[in-house]
Amino acid sequence: MSRNARRRLQRTPHPAPHRPGRAPSHSRPPLLANAWYSTNELATRLRLDASTLRRWRTARPLQGPPFISISGRVIMYSSLDVEEWLRSRRTVPGKGRNG
């Protein structure tokens, strides 16, 4: 990832104005307040090949953790989304899926 792309992801966003019909922005955590991973970084953390994440993104129905397409070639994964996805796949022996 380029240095400029990292800087853009690390900037603190300005609060968005409240729009009628939408929940106020403070009711959701800001997207830029947590860590972000590139495909290669997440693959390393999950001990997967990056091609597995790419295959999951193009599968129908979609598989794998939620992602954001910054551009045609730059895909990012929020650490919060990845953690939530991992929790949803967790199996506790004797209790079944999701513990």
Contact 31/78 with Cβ under 8 angstroms? yes
Q: What is the pLDDT of residue 31?
A: 74
pLDDT(19) > 60? no
Q: Which residue did the predictor score with more confidence, 10 or 91?
A: 91
Q: What is the mean pLDDT of residues 82-97?
A: 89
Distance in angstroms (rounded) separating the CA atoms of residues 77 and 68: 6
The pTM of the whole model exceeds 0.85: no
Contact 76/37 with Cβ under 8 angstroms? yes
The CATH class of the 33-91 domain is mainly alpha
Q: How far out from the chain centre does Cα 83 lie? A: 9
Q: What's the pLDDT tens digit per position in 23-76?
A: 555 566 677 778 999 999 999 999 999 999 999 999 999 999 999 999 989 999
Per-domain residue ranges of the chain: 33-91
Distance in angstroms (rounded) separating the CA atoms of residues 50 and 17: 38
Which tokens go with 86? 């991992």
